[in-house]
Amino acid sequence: MFTESGLESEFREDYLDKSMLSVRIALALGVVLYSAFGVLDYLIAPLSMYHIWFIRFAIVVPALAAVFGLTYLRISRPFMQPLLSFSSLIAGFGIVAIIGVTVEKESSLYYYAGLILVIMWTYTFVRLRFLYATVCSWIIVLAYEFTAIGYQGLLDRPEMINIFVNNNFFFIASNVIGMFACYLIELYTRKDFLQRRQIASGREELQTERNNLQTRMDIMDRELEMARLIQQRFIPDLNPTEYISALYRPMEAVGGDLIDFVRFGEGEKIGLFMSDVSGHGVPAALITSMLKSSMLESSRLSFNPALVLAHLNRVLGDQTDENFVTAFYGVYDKSTRSIIYANAGHHPPRIILSKSVTTLDKAKRMPLAISTNEELVSTGMIYANARATIPAHSKLILYTDGLVEARNPSDRSTEFGESLDDRLLKLREFDCRGFLDALYGELVEFRGGDSFDDDICMICVDIR
């Protein structure tokens, strides 16, 4: 139990919210199983069957059903643990009463096993907290002792003493095991609660960091501000659809990364383009503007990624001095979850599955503006298309090297990319917008701030 009263109250509310479904399933299952054992009454205790059925179907099952119904009433929330304790006790007392009313002496000895089931149910399934579960289970055992000694007279006959001792060994062992299990369940639940509170607090800190970033951007000097405003016209809507989002963070006022989305008039296709110019600052930004213009000129080729990259390579030619450009262009079809793509030396996009991360690593060729198309054809390395079908309920993420090559200032030998797959899997449940924000937040935390050595550019696609 938390020593801080407010924290304990918050935990109990959270525990109730997260356990309500399990509680209802446990109660419903209790009703079904308690009723199903009526068949056993007919087989092993026919002389006492009607008395047993009265206990089973007129008392215990209606009581469990009533508590099940009360779980849907908000007024019962403060009393949920006592109500669940009542359910456990009524189930246990029902078995004890059945033992007491069974006239077939040999048959009555079989029903003790039902108490073990109730004890297991109490400790692990009905989501009682440790103290409630422990008290209820030991009360049930004491009720059995009273019935076994007072009504069955197990201590009055020497041949029955061994049975009494045997049953108690099982009851005590079940309680000890159940207490450990229940304690550990509650312990880990409390640890999880604290961790989630810390994560929520961390998200608030990340929001504060983002606000600080915006403040620093507002005080950029006027000359670079003008260049930034011009380049911003090249950046498309970062949320072009409800299943696609992008994130762009230049290291300076202007950057060399470019993202673009190509709209098609037919079906549910959309083109995904990303490029990264070597170098930084204004020279890289000028090459980026050339790329944007060339993309607009290549609209008639948009359905064929390989032809688009070949066109860009031809246009750039010897116009980039010693700079080169990595680029990825793919056409994604939402209706079939398929993508046709070509890659010019860019980092292969990653596909985030439920338990692993794979890449679109086919058709990777040389970066743009290094060799002419004729030279690429002669060496068999001209840009080519590849196709892939992406599994449903996964994510596709495109990124530039600023993400994977970001280094920790305190340990320059450690790159963010070394732990990227683990981070992607951890964040996969977010939608595309929340996913990118959370991943960027982890990058800021890894860097110890929001200043970077390279532009940060990402596109995330929710594959549905």
CA distance 179 to 193: 21
With a cut of 70, say whether residue 185 has pLDDT above it: yes
Across 154-161, average pLDDT: 79
Across 287-305, average pLDDT: 81
CA distance 166 to 438: 57
| Residue 207 C-beta-side C-alpha neighbours within 13 Å | 7
pLDDT of residue 463: 94
The DSSP bridge partners found for residue 396 are 351, 461
All residues at 6 or more sequence positions from 370 whose CB lies less than 8 Å from its CB, including other chains: 324
Please write the tens of the pLDDT for every residue from 186-242. Answer: 999 989 988 988 888 888 888 888 888 877 756 555 555 555 555 566 677 778 899
- Name all domains of the chain by residue range, CATH numbers in brackets: 5-196 (no CATH), 220-463 (3.60.40.10)
Is the CB of residue 56 less than 8 Å from the CB of residue 35?
A: yes
CA distance 348 to 371: 21
Across 371-394, average pLDDT: 93
CA distance 183 to 175: 12
Is the CB of residue 263 less than 8 Å from the CB of residue 272?
A: no
Between these two residues, 7 and 428, which has the higher pLDDT value?
428
pLDDT of residue 459: 96
Give how far the C-alpha of residue 405 lies from the chain's centroid of Cα atoms, to the nearest Å. Answer: 26
pLDDT of residue 384: 95
Between these two residues, 104 and 145, which has the higher pLDDT value?
145
Please write the tens of the pLDDT for every residue from 304-337. Answer: 999 999 999 988 887 777 789 999 999 999 999 9
The backbone torsions φ and ψ at residue 257, rounded to the nearest 5 degrees and listed phi first, read -90, 150
Please write the tens of the pLDDT for every residue from 101-142. Answer: 887 666 667 888 889 999 999 999 999 999 999 999 999 999
Residue 107 is encoded by which pair of tokens?
């048959």
Of the candidates 101, 97, 130, 95, the residue with the CA atom closest to the CA atom of residue 116: 95
CA distance 224 to 229: 9
pLDDT of residue 219: 57
The H or E element containing residue 38 is helix 38-44
Give the residue carrying structure tokens 């849907």. Answer: 72
Is the CB of residue 257 less than 8 Å from the CB of residue 267?
A: no
With a cut of 60, say whether residue 18 has pLDDT above it: yes
CA distance 313 to 167: 83
CA distance 212 to 319: 38
Between these two residues, 113 and 31, which has the higher pLDDT value?
31
pLDDT of residue 148: 85
Is the CB of residue 99 less than 8 Å from the CB of residue 144?
A: yes
The torsion region of residue 281 among left (phi > 0), alpha (psi -120 to 50) and beta comes to left
Does the predicted TM-score (pTM) go above 0.85?
Answer: no
Between these two residues, 301 and 422, which has the higher pLDDT value?
422
Let me know the angle formed at the C-alpha of 261 by 258 and 262, rounded to the nearest 5 degrees: 125
With a cut of 80, say whether residue 65 has pLDDT above it: yes
Let me know the angle formed at the C-alpha of 393 by 423 and 417, rounded to the nearest 5 degrees: 20
Across 369-397, average pLDDT: 93
pLDDT of residue 13: 87
pLDDT of residue 69: 94
pLDDT of residue 167: 87
